[in-house]
Chain A
């Protein structure tokens, strides 16, 4: 019960800052989707006469505007590595937006809440739930912007991605899985990856500090974009590497298992560190 009350305090304490970050996220999402429309428009303008493309701009199509991602960097590839700008911006906004509050609250009102709560684990779980909830708000914001664009395009609430869309946005230069392409389970995986990343950062911010948490998260995003090693779990949020779209992509169960382990380990390690920590607040900087 006290955990829930702590969570309520976290929500109240961050209403304004979370609102600002969500607004920034919505603004960036709008820009990304405008860029997607321009990219598709330019591609359509350049196709040979006689070729026809059918792009409905569904909700699923628009989600690729953020989460298309890229193929891993391969040395000696004849095509230049294209960094996934939209994907990176979304996740960077998320990690920066969630970085400061949990740790810094210990120097302010959060300290009073911690004492009133009387239990460090309850306080810690509240922070984990706050992170997960905030991540879901970021994902919902991106989804709502895409939904708005699809409603404007008159294509409604379809999660299916047009095969022609994948071609026009120069999706991955690899073998596609056969149609249909359903973006719904993929979007669920994006949310799970984002929550895992948020919890991973929360853990690091208590092991070290908020800046280290953001730095590690940004490094992880770059590593995920360039390659697919064991530390590149954020690549599970790229459609270009997802089995729902490409032939040799990762499987949903695989992504959920890896992200679940990372999230669980982050919560436990962070919680244990927070509980055994000998200093809180301003004394840390001594």
Chain B
């Protein structure tokens, strides 16, 4: 398993946000988390990303316990909430800046991923001039540019137009083919069920149901 969440509970200031949540995502699988606003989807993503530590339970990503063996999963792409970049720089420059930290990918890979998400590499506009949809596309590009083994996408279809949703579909399927473990949350039920191999339903911080759609995502 690439992501193994075991009996995770999280309380913040006395409020239980997640209660005994367990789920797993294997390599090459697309797993969705569904649930109403405030059900704990984003919190679960942030826990897996290592931004928050659980009060109880454990989260293992690629064999390493998050927060114990490693502060953050080593190979992880993430899009949580609205994408944030340096507002004065172009999308391409922002990706170059981010990529320079791990130094795993170069300019060619960045240009390729920009093309994949439908952004122009020669766009001179700074990030602050981007539309919401373009910001979301850039957030997706940042998440996948280093070909991570784990991909966490929280509402990736937000602000995307029809072409954008088609691009998202292609991108997620491509990531699965590559062998990445994809965990995502989406309010578009049709899109979610058409792509995902499994869906976990969250309600008030607890797993309320689990469905497996074997093979449907490959169609």
Contact = CB atoms under 8 A, between A and B. Distances in A.
A186 to B, nearest CB: 38
B1 interface: no
B33 interface: no
B74 interface: yes
A283 B52 contact: yes
Interface residues on B, range: 20 to 34
A112 B86 contact: no
Contacts of A37: none
Nearest to B43: A283
B70 interface: yes
B51 A12 contact: no
B46 interface: yes
A282 B80 CA distance: 12
A2 B100 CA distance: 9
Contact of B101 (A117, A281, A283): A117
Interface string B88-111: 110000000110111000000000
A7 to B, nearest CB: 11
A115 B84 contact: no
B201 interface: no
B38 to A, nearest CB: 11
Interface residues on A, range: 20 to 34
B53 A278 contact: yes
B209 to A, nearest CB: 25
Contacts of B142: 112
B88 A15 contact: yes
A113 interface: yes
Chain A facing B: main interface SS: helix
Interface string A106-129: 011101111111111000000000
Nearest to A105: B84
Contact of A2 (B46, B50, B81, B101): B101
A282 B82 CA distance: 12
Interface in B121-151: 142
Contact of B12 (A12, A109, A116, A283): A283
B29 interface: no
Given A279-B12, A281-B51, A286-B15, A111 B84 contact: yes
A132 interface: no
A115 B12 contact: no
Contacts, number: 66
A117 B81 CA distance: 20
B101 A119 contact: no
A109 B84 contact: yes
Contact of B78 (A9, A15, A115, A283): A115
B52 A119 contact: no
B84 A280 contact: no
Contacts of A116: 98, 101-102
Given A13-B86, A120-B71, A115 B51 contact: yes
B133 to A, nearest CB: 19
A112 B98 contact: yes
A111 B50 CA distance: 11
Contact of B52 (A13, A115, A118, A278): A278
A126 B20 CA distance: 36
A12 B86 CA distance: 8
A109 B88 CA distance: 12
A56 interface: no
Interface string A1-25: 0100110110011011000000000
Interface of A: 2, 5-6, 8-9, 12-13, 15-16, 107-109, 111-120, 278-283, 286
Given A115-B49, A118-B72, A286-B15, 11 more contacts: A9-B101, A107-B84, A109-B84, A109-B85, A111-B84, A118-B74, A119-B71, A280-B51, A281-B51, A282-B81, A283-B52
Interface of B: 12-13, 15, 17, 43, 46, 49-53, 55, 70-72, 74, 76, 78, 81, 84-86, 88-89, 97-98, 100-102, 142
5 contacts: A5-B101, A118-B74, A278-B52, A278-B53, A286-B15
- Shortest 3 CB-CB contacts between residues of A and residues of B: A108-B84, A116-B101, A286-B12
